[in-house]
Structure formats: structure tokens, C-alpha cells
Amino acid sequence: MLDLLVRYRKYSILGVVVVVAVALLTVQQTRPGEGLWIAEGIAAVTAPVQTAFARVHRGAASLWAGYLDWKHLRAEVARLRAETVALRLRQLRQEALEVENERLRNLATLRERLPERTLGAEVVARDWNGFTRGLTIDRGRTDGAERLSAVIVTSGVVGRVAVLRRQSAIVQVLTDPASSIGGVVLRTRAQGLVEGVAGGRLRIKLAVSEEALQPGDLVVTSGIGELFPKGLPLGRVLRVYSPTGLFRTAELEPAVDLTSVEEVLVLPRGTGGDLAPAFPES
Amino acid sequence: MRLPLYVLAVSGGALVQCTVVPVVGVGGIVPDVPVVLTVLLALRYGAEAGCLTGFALGLAQDAVAGGPLGLHALSKALLGFAAGDLPRWVLVTRPIVPVGLAVLATIVDGLARFALLQLFQYPAPLGEIFTRVIVPQAGYNGIVAAAALAWPAGRLLSRG
């Protein structure tokens, strides 16, 4: 018998295994719900391992969830930052539009107050090197602009058209070292010559007594020479220098912030009369 | 057969099945690592080893799963025996054979367990079990078998 079992070892093992398994199943089928000691034994070995692994798995899952949360939070923060930047940009655009709107409204009001038909233009370029100071505007010969026309904004004189092209023009600004305009001190009616100074400043030279020129005095165009009509604000006296010979010199603060001019009005040549009432703020 | 490898494979397989496998389920389907191990060991070491491996792994699986003790043990013992006897009839050195056999074995094992469970008035219909559990699990096991054979240490299980 033993020989037979050894000879057919393979089938013997199979037989034993099948018998054991069937026996186990049969016992359980006849006594449902009752645990078997062998199952208890195996479970006693595997349960601690399972528990340990479950803990490790829970820890890893928690770590992963934390990482995902952090990742989502980071994405959320980036999104909110981008949104904040977009909102800020929108707000800045809105503010810029409001400023532009205000500027255009003032320019339109000035235009209405002026007796002559003026030409509105936009500044498209600036030449701000040390030797010359000029602005390029988008109106030229075809638009009706004329050479030497006065260019103004709501606060005063910008300069004059120095170079006229077909569709654009270059404006020589007041502070250009080659610019000179006849000016008058509004308070005392003392007349002088307003000149640009290298470095973007402005000065007035006149032959008057000390009382005739004080810091804060407004200087407007005199109307002499017929290039500029009378009464256009040029600037305010900042400081008065000691006289040299007959002449007294004063530094002026330009009435117009020439660095931020964006829209201008071009007056037709030969515009006459006193335009001071058109600049009530001055 | 080398006993340490056999013990390592059996205990490692049981451990993996009761710890790692539940975590790597896809759509509720988990691989049956003992089936794959039984088939690969049986092909490598013969019917006796296959039968004993299947029985040991199945018994551990039964104990852990809490189902009828002997269910997996019986089905996997038969499977291991059949797979171990196969090299007498089929050339199994090509890797596609063990992988295909793992897929087929999973289906056979599933059907055998379903048949045995009828003794315990198992309620689910065969069609549902077959399409939703057995077939997807067979596919998953095919992938596991291919991965095991591709893995350098898994070559110990390969007959080539």
C-alpha cells in the first residue's frame, strides 16, 4: 500500500489535499457559523500583519491626501493670485480710462470756449533728448494743420508746430532750448521773453523792477509776434534771480506737464484776441 | 524544488494577497495573486509543488477572507496540479504560455469556486459573477503574471 502511495506520489498528494479540503468544506456545511481552529490559527498569524499594513496604508493614504490637498491649495492660491492681478489690471485700466475721459472732457470744454475752430490731435511720440524737445502728433497737412500753429492743452501752451508732414507734425515744446515766446506777467503786465532751457526747464527774461516779478506770478502769452494769441498760460514763477545788467531772469514752472501730455489742440494760425477767459483755472 | 524559495513564495504570496492587493484594486476588481503564483510555481516545479502551493495559498486566502475554509484551497490545489502536469503536453518556455495560462486558470478557478459555493447556497447568478468578477480578474491576473515574469526575480518562476 505504501509502495503504491510512493509510486503514485503525485496523485496521492492530490488525493490527500482534495480529501482535506472537502472534509473542511463538509464540516462547515454541516455546522454553519462555527469557526474552525485552523482558520483561527492562520488568522492569528495574518491578522497582525494585516493590521500593521492597514496602518501603514492609512498613513500613506493620509500623507497622499495631505499632499493632494496641498497641491490643490497651491493651485487655488495661484489661481486667486492670477485673478487678483487680473482684477488689479482691470481696475488700473478703469482708472486710466477715467483719467483719459476727464482729460478729453476738459479738452472738449476748452475747445468749446475757444473762438476759433481747433484741431484735436493725439501725441504719438516724444523726442526727449537733451538738445531738442519735441512731440509728434497724429495730425498733419492733410488734416489742416499749419506750420508754426500754437499747440495747447487745457492748462496752457505746449509749443508750436515746427515740422509739418502729410499725416503728422512735430511740435517744438516750450522747454526746447531753441524755443522763445513773448510772455507777460499777468499781475503786473510786465513783458519779457520766455525761453526753453537745456534740461527741460523754462525761464523768462525781462527788464523790470524787483516788485514786478514775484514767485507764484502767472506768465501768459503776450500776443506779440502773432504766432500765439494773447492770454495762453505759459508757466508760474518759481524763483527770481538777481538782475544782470538791465535784465532780470526768473525760472518758471511750465503750466503744462509736458511729460504727460497725450491729447492736444492745434490752434489755426492767425488766431487772435485774448484767450485768457478760456483758461479760468489759471 | 528549493524549499526556501517555495516557502518564501507561498508566505509572500499570501501576505501580498491579504495586504497589498486590496489596495491596488481597479474598479473594485483585485488580482488573485495566489492563482498566478500557483500557476507559475506549478509550471516551474511540477504538479506536486503546484498542488501543495495551491492548497497552502488557498487555505491562507480562505482564512483571511472569512469564507468557507477549503474553498480556495480545493480549487487552487486542483489548479496547481493541472498546471504542473501541463509541461508534459505543452511547450511552456515561451512567456505567452504562462501568462495565457494564468488568465485561463483564473477563469477555471472562478468557475470551480462558484460551483463549490453552490453547496453553501451562494445567491449571485453565474452570468453576473462571470462578467463582472471572473473575466476582469483574469485580465488583471494576466497583467500580474506578465509583470512577475518581466521582473528579474520573477525569472525564478519561469521555466525558460
- Label residue A267 exposed, middle or buried (CB < 10 Å: 0-12, 13-18, 19+): buried
Cα separations in angstroms, A44 against A35, A38, B96: 13, 10, 38
Of B20, B64, B70, the CB nearest to A25: B70
Cα four-point dihedral sign A253, A258, A264, A266:
positive
The answer to whether residue B57 neighbours chain A at the CB level (below 8 Å) is: no
> Does the structure show a pLDDT above 60 at A267?
yes
> Does the structure show a pLDDT above 90 at A58?
no
Distance from CA of A55 to the nearest CA of B (A): 11
Helices (H), chain A: 2-7, 9-30, 37-113
Q: Which residues of A touch B15 (CB under 8 A)?
A: 46, 49
Query: CA A221, CA B110: separation in Å to the nearest integer?
Result: 105
- Among left, alpha and beta (phi > 0; psi -120 to 50; other), residue B17 is alpha
Question: Which pLDDT score, from 0 to 100, does residue A68 have?
Answer: 92
**Per residue in A188-237, pLDDT tens?**
888 899 998 877 788 998 877 767 788 999 999 988 877 888 889 999 99
Under the banding of pLDDT at 50, 70 and 90, the label for residue A44 is: confident
**Per residue in B16-64, pLDDT tens?**
777 777 777 777 788 888 999 899 888 888 888 899 989 988 888 777 6
Q: Which residue has the cell 526727449?
A: A128
**Per residue in A138-155, pLDDT tens?**
888 898 888 889 999 988
> Does the structure show a pLDDT above 70 at A130?
no
Nearest to A184 by CA among A253, A233, A151, A227: A233
C-alpha cell belonging to residue A189: 503786465
Question: Which pLDDT score, from 0 to 100, does residue A32 have?
Answer: 63
Question: ipTM, 2 decimals?
Answer: 0.77
Q: Which residues of B touch A50 (CB under 8 A)?
A: 18-19, 64
Please give the share of chain A, as a percent, with pLDDT higher than 90.
Answer: 25
What is the pLDDT of chain A when averaged over all its residues? Answer: 84
> Does the structure show a pLDDT above 90 at A79?
yes
Contact B42, B1 (CB under 8 A): no
Query: CA B116, CA B63: separation in Å to the nearest integer?
Result: 17
